[in-house]
Amino acid sequence: MGKQPNLYAFADTAALVASLRTYVINAQNAGIARHDSFKVAVSGGSLPKVLAQALLAPSRGPDDVLRFDQWEIFFADERAVPLDHADSNYGLLKAELLDKIPADLGTPRVHPIDTAHLNDTQELADQYEQILVTSFASRDSVRLPIFDLLLLGCGPDGHTCSLFPGHELLRETSAWVAPIEDSPKPPPKRITLTLPVVTHAVKVAFVATGAGKKDVMKQIFDESNGLPCALVNEGAGDRCSWFVDNPAVEGVAFPRRSFL
Ligand SMILES: O=C1O[C@H](COP(=O)(O)O)[C@@H](O)[C@H](O)[C@H]1O
């Protein structure tokens, strides 16, 4: 058996977001030390709200500093809708986090989709992949981009990004960004990072909270079932960490770790 993911369970959201903040700042500092920027991709859904709670909290001291001017923010998946649409992951992140970042913390460079291609999801995906090629080419002339951090959600069916259980996209091996036109969760047309890109990141963090996630958490951690989140665990091993609250892992046998 390969290396196992880290499962960090917290009594409440306050404890979760405090540790998530430390984890993100550590990933930020490592990225900046390595290549002078922090390349992070984020999900939509419930993630931006929790992330905002973590990142908009006051600094706890000189080692607890966000340097947003060196952040490059990408989207782990995006819906093929205008950026001001209620379903837009960009729109959600903007409302929850981007619009609220204090000016003295700097302004991140954000990479939304090119909405000129909303009617052609293959083109939408290709254009987004080209953004990654341009951004990562300066440092990695490699087969896959290496994100410093992916911040992901986990749907109640075990999907992550727009990678859904049993979908053919889980077998994608060459594209970095792929279109999907039959998402079982609306809206149906989306683009998503592919599984090889997700599992190739330096670090992958999932955030899952609430009792509504406990059944799928049991499936992901205690069963071998090929759910997308479980495939990320398998591919990323101990580079993958889960930040959950206790209700989300009630009845899950997989051992928790302490976040130090
Ligand atoms: O459709 C999506 O759902 C997932 C999970 O959302 P959550 O609300 O259950 O956290 C999300 O991670 C993804 O980005 C989004 O497009």
Q: CATH topology for 6-241?
A: Rossmann fold (3.40.50)
Q: How far apart are CA 233 and CA 241, in angstroms?
A: 9
ipTM of the complex: 0.98
Domain residue extents for the chain? 6-241
47 CA distance to ligand 1 centroid (A)? 8
Cβ contact 87:202 at 8 Å: no
pLDDT of residue 138: 60
77 CA distance to ligand 1 centroid (A)? 9
- The atom of ligand 1 lying closest to the CA of 76 is 14
Q: Would the CB of 78 count as within 6 Å of ligand 1?
A: no
What are the tokens at 218? Answer: 């049991």
Claim: this prediction has a pTM higher than 0.90: yes
Q: List average pLDDT for each run of 10 residues in the chain, which is 260 residues long.
A: 91 96 98 97 98 97 96 98 98 98 97 98 98 80 88 98 98 96 98 98 98 97 94 98 98 96
